[in-house]
């Protein structure tokens, strides 16, 4: 009898922060060699003793599984407000091991993996679960049972795995468009080229005293990330106004700090044409991803956004591009305040169109939309262009129930800072001219908003408590 009772209790349950082992009674009944961990704290503890286990189950956290050689199941909740599903997506892309599987429980919150009262962390960050704890616990047990018994063709497991892939793949695609290193790659350094496919010549290739910075150590690998594909393939054509005056564009982007003066990094047009027909301009741009959370993106150790808060991008101006293509441009080409706005609108539209179906449906039902507003010109300050320091502005706007309101629910306005330098009759690499700088919304940050942060005002536990639910 005693042996029977002991065999009904898992060998180890590593609780999440604010929980005790008694919060996981719904996991009893598995063999002693099945080891469980909840949240970041539990995962850290289990990774310290995984060698004593035959199966590992990580719930509500995406741990580093390098060097783990036993079957591991990583379980995400689609309404987890503590551990972003973007972290699970990035881990699944970086770490491919035939014994490690990734699944998602539809509608499960971070607290859904435990029972009893929510922890303090969940109370502040988590979303409300879509189903009762009993339903989520039953689904969780069924998925774990199929995994432990190598029955991964079972409908419940295949469904959970397909759901995960349908949510994770769009996040990974968005991070790739951003040029993020979160998927395991490394940014190139165009001052010390190692990837021959980048095709980014240095410009203007001069430095303030005391000369250029030394080479990085170690040097970036030969398959490093050249620049942001979003900036190259979407931002550059839109900023160039190709819908107005079509011509060919061969853009290349490089990641650099926009304040770097050792050497300076500026966008450049490397050729000219007599007429836009049969014209292809070779153009470079400069992008600086700003990796931070921001006020509308609550952050903890498990919940820090992987995407960039903004992309600081240096484009050549439409005036300069139209001049170089043979169209002929004027300063009026860049006088409008919609160039950056248009690119940001495309990022939001791309994220909406490509989000996993379950995430998009939840956002359309409960989320706060993003609304792009006109760019604002950043002036010159005492220390130079204020564009460098001024960040993309995310502002929550309260619901407006008036008959003529464009949005009768709360929404988030997104505003870019624009900095334009006109072309001059005499050009020199020492005098920057013909520039149009933008602060861009990353499609990956828009995707993280759709998946989680845009739901917080309606579905968070904190919001439910405020409403007295």
Per-residue pLDDT of 125-158, as tens digits, reads 999 999 999 999 999 999 999 999 999 999 999 9
Q: What is the 3-state secondary structure (H, E, C) of 355-394?
A: CCHHHHHHHHHHCCCEEECCCEECCEECCEECCCCCCCEE
Residue 34 host element (H or E)? strand 34-38
Q: How many CB atoms lie within 10 A of CB 242?
A: 17
Q: What is the DSSP letter of 431?
A: B
- Helix, coil or strand: residue 38: strand
Cα(358)–Cα(108) distance, integer angstroms: 12
DSSP per-residue string spanning 257-293:
-TT-BTTBB--EE----SSSTT-EEEEEEEEEEE---
Cα(313)–Cα(320) distance, integer angstroms: 16
User: CB of 262 within 8 A of CB of 461?
Assistant: no
First-to-final CA distance of the chain: 44
Closest to 268 (Cα-Cα) out of 233, 223, 235, 236: 236
Cα 428 to chain centroid distance, Å, stands at 38
Phi/psi of residue 121, each to 5°? -65, -45
Which tokens is 17 given? 């922060």
To 10 degrees, what angle do helices 155-178 and 357-366 make?
Answer: 80
- In terms of C-beta distances under 8 Å and separation of at least 24 residues, what long-range contacts does 8-15 make, across chains too? 10/34, 10/35, 10/36, 11/35, 11/52, 11/53, 12/36, 12/46, 12/49, 12/52, 12/53, 13/37, 13/38, 13/42, 14/38, 14/41, 14/42, 14/43, 14/45, 14/46, 15/39, 15/41, 15/42, 15/114
Cα(102)–Cα(20) distance, integer angstroms: 25
DSSP helix, strand, coil percent of the chain (3-state; round to 5): 35, 20, 45
Cα 127 to chain centroid distance, Å, stands at 19
pLDDT tens digit at each of 469 positions of the chain: 333 434 455 558 999 999 999 999 999 999 889 999 999 999 999 999 999 999 999 999 999 999 999 999 999 999 999 999 999 999 999 988 889 999 999 999 999 999 999 999 999 999 999 999 999 999 999 999 999 999 999 999 999 999 999 999 999 999 999 999 999 999 999 999 999 999 999 899 899 888 899 999 999 999 999 999 999 999 999 999 999 999 999 999 999 999 999 999 999 999 999 999 999 999 999 999 999 999 999 887 678 999 999 999 999 999 999 999 999 878 888 988 999 999 999 999 999 999 999 999 999 999 999 999 999 999 988 877 899 999 999 999 987 755 555 555 789 999 999 999 988 766 666 677 899 999 999 999 999 999 999 999 999 998 776 666 6
Which tokens is 469 given? 């639910």
- Helix, coil or strand: residue 56: strand
With a threshold of 0.75, does the pTM exceed it?
Answer: yes
């Amino acid at each position: 009898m005693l042996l029977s009772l002991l065999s009904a209790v898992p060998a180890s349950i590593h609780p999440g922060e604010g929980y005790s082992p008694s919060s996981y009674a719904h996991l009893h009944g598995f063999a002693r060699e099945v080891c469980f961990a909840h949240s970041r704290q539990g995962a850290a503890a289990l990774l310290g003793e995984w060698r004593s286990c035959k199966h590992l189950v990580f719930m509500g956290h995406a741990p580093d599984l390098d060097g783990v050689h036993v079957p591991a199941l990583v379980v995400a909740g689609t309404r987890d407000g503590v551990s972003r599903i973007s972290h699970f997506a990035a881990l699944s892309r970086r770490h491919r091991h035939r014994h490690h599987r990734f699944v998602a429980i539809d509608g499960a919150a971070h607290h859904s993996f435990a029972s009893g009262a929510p922890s303090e962390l969940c109370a502040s960050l988590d979303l409300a679960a879509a189903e009762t704890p009993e339903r989520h616990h039953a689904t969780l047990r069924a998925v774990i049972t199929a995994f432990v018994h190598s029955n991964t063709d079972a409908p419940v497991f295949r469904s959970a795995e397909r759901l995960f892939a349908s949510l994770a793949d769009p996040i990974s695609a968005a991070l790739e468009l951003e040029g993020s290193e979160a998927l395991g790659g490394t940014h190139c350094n165009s001052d010390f080229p190692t990837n021959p496919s980048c095709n980014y010549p240095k410009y203007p290739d001069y430095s303030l005293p005391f000369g250029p910075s030394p080479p990085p150590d170690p040097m970036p690998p030969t398959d490093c990330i050249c620049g942001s594909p979003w900036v190259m393939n979407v931002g550059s054509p839109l900023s160039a106004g190709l819908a107005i005056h079509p011509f060919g564009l061969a853009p290349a982007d490089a990641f650099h700090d926009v304040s770097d003066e050792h050497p300076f990094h500026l966008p450049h047009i490397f050729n000219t044409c007599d007429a836009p027909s049969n014209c292809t301009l070779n153009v470079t741009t400069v992008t600086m991803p700003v990796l931070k959370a921001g006020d509308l993106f609550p952050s903890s150790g498990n919940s820090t956004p992987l995407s960039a808060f903004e992309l600081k991008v240096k484009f050549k101006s439409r005036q300069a591009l139209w001049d170089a293509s043979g169209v002929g441009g004027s300063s009026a080409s860049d006088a409008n305040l919609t160039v950056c706005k248009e690119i940001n609108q495309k990022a939001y539209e791309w994220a909406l169109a490509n989000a996993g179906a379950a995430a998009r449906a939840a956002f359309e039902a409960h989320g706060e939309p993003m609304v792009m507003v006109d760019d604002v010109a950043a002036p010159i300050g005492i220390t130079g262009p204020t564009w460098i320091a001024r960040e993309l502005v995310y502002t929550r706007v309260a619901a407006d129930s008036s008959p003529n309101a464009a949005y009768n629910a709360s929404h988030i306005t997104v505003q870019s800072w624009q900095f334009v330098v006109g072309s001059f009759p005499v050009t020199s690499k020492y005098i920057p001219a013909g520039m149009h700088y933008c602060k861009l919304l990353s499609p990956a940050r828009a995707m993280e908003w759709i998946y989680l942060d845009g739901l917080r005002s309606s579905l968070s536990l904190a919001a439910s408590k405020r409403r007295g639910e």
